[in-house]
Structure 1
């Protein structure tokens, strides 16, 4: 059975509270080269999406049917208008989103290459100034699952403020899921003190390796479990995912065999799928497979909100898609 703490949220206002990095993504594909001087290259598609390790996740949890609270910050600009309107369109509760004067909304320009790689240009903006005051705790923790996403690009919240936040989540009996961004050996100093308050630690294997200095997936998992995490769920790109719980459960789950268009937001979709699986009390293997299906759907389109339609549609893709041999 799935390992969980307080997942019985019938009396709670939300199913999940998603805290952290909210970004406006401007994506174009396919970008083979940047034109010289002031010349023009023609591409097939340009999109605007709500993204970030919290923004992409909360959109997908809402599309998967969860009552989702967005907890983050935007500026007081036209980009903020788009972000908030888009969240509302998907049914996300934005009442805990902060509009900060004098700073831009965090935003990224992504030039998606034909092979799916996506070199980025990023404005850090409002997410650097975001914090969760104690006055919001009763609302932010009015969900059985609390997700913190974006450590590494949350300048004010990173570090001790995040530790206090997650400690309070656990004191209130919440299940804590966690992801980060832009990981390095230096990021480990922000992440390691949080691990004793994290139930599901969900970085990519590249991030896990960069922070731990370990090479194999098994050694990476042992490093973070020894540091206090209850469970590691690593995304392995085209190789699938790896689940390691401190009770000894180990699962290597292969990826689905799909045609990849763009990998933007796949990690966020995996997080959303796994959170949704927790909500539905799936067993660990089913939870990882559902999370991979959500990520796979996003990979079939452009942007972090592509592909996912509903919980039922994602389940159907699980049944239809073949796994890699």
Structure 2
């Protein structure tokens, strides 16, 4: 199954603070925060949620269609993505703006403070999926990941109009969306992706209970950090898959994107949910151990080994359509 990924493409500016943010925050002064952190290093990396997920899917040989808006500074990044199996024909190049920027400081407890400059991403609302997909191989799934809010709403509506299954991944943009917008993005999604905090925020924004969310979507996938991932479907017991244990944390940026890539790569091959979630956790562990969200290689043999070590002998066997037969 071919997957189209809509959302952000950005350059990541990643910094590390050797202390703890919590120790710098004074409870009685939280209404007047003015802090500057002296960081130990700066890494400038390729990023953006849609690009990260497409990079992962490309590593599995799925040739995902990337749909996003960028500036004229994208040329080198585009070559990189093409070299890693990503179809960039759905990327809109804007002459007047720079590609989006993500600026993030991570402390020694892996807490993060970040800022995001949209730049050219603001023009992604001009991309028409009906025109883009005319005369081309229609994807079996469109992932609507964080993007310009108007673009997310437009692409969701176009998926419904075209009859293409879609996955809702509002994540960071939940803070910018009102209840009606979140309900519109989620209702009818084949897949809904959140982390644990976003799950609570989504219910607060929509006014829906957990059961009402499950009634509105096909399957709800919630990443739980070091506790793994929870997969829920209306009328069925929830499934919890633990994270890969004992992974040294180098940089948490892009870990959730890696999970989505691994999970969807497995789902695209009709792998059952539990092994699909295990593959997502395995790829997430690889990214967690590297600096930058695209500095790793998608190595099927290594991922097979990670799955077997984390989940037991034979755990990689159901993933053979994605990874090949385990050694």
TM-score (norm 2): 0.80
Q: CA deviation at 1:141?
A: 6.3
CA contact (8 A) 1:184 1:211 kept: no
Per-residue CA deviation, residues 173-224 of structure 1 (Å, 9 max, x unaligned), is x44222123223844432211323311101111111012139xxxx964231
Report whether the alignment pairs 1:130 with 2:150. no
Is there any run of 5+ residues in structure 1 with no aligned partner, and where?
1-8, 10-14
Q: 1:322 to 1:28 in 2, by over 3 A?
A: farther
The whole-number CA distance in structure 2 between the counterparts of 1:296 and 1:193 is 32
Q: What is the number of equivalent residue pairs in this alignment? A: 294
The equivalent of 2:138 in structure 1 is 142
Q: Which has the higher contact order (CA 8 A, sep 6+)?
A: 1
Distance in structure 1 (CA, Å) of the matches to 2:200 and 2:137 = 31
2:89 alignment partner, SS class: coil
Match of residue 63, structure 1, among 36, 59, 62? 59
Deviations 1:45-93 (A, max 9, x none): 62412x22211100111112211111111012x3x22331221221211
- Give the 3 Å change call, closer, same or farther, for CA 30–85 of structure 1 in structure 2: farther
CA distance in 1 between counterparts of 2:302 and 2:64 reads 19
TM-aligned CA distance change 1:60 to 1:187, over 3 Å: farther
Write out aligned runs for 1:250-269 (5 A).
250-257=238-245, 258-269=247-258
Aligned residue among 154, 168, 171 for 1:181: 171
Residue range with higher mean Cα deviation, 277-286 or 303-312:
303-312
Q: Alignment partner for residue 201 of structure 2, among 190, 197, 210?
A: 210
Q: What's 1:48 paired with?
A: 45
List gaps (5 residues or longer) in structure 2: 22-35, 313-327
Say which SS state the counterpart of residue 97 (structure 2) adopts.
Answer: coil
Select the residue among 221, 228, 243 that pairs with 1:233. Answer: 221
| 1:31 shift after superposition | 5.1
**Equivalences for residues 1-325 of structure 1 within 5 A:** 9=1, 15-29=2-16, 32=19, 42-43=40-41, 46-49=43-46, 51-76=47-72, 78=73, 80-131=74-125, 132-133=127-128, 134-138=130-134, 142-150=138-146, 153-159=147-153, 161-169=154-162, 171=163, 174-182=164-172, 183-184=174-175, 186-213=177-204, 221-226=210-215, 228-257=216-245, 258-321=247-310
Find the residue that maps to 1:270 and give its secondary structure: helix
Partner in structure 1 of residue 32 of structure 2: none
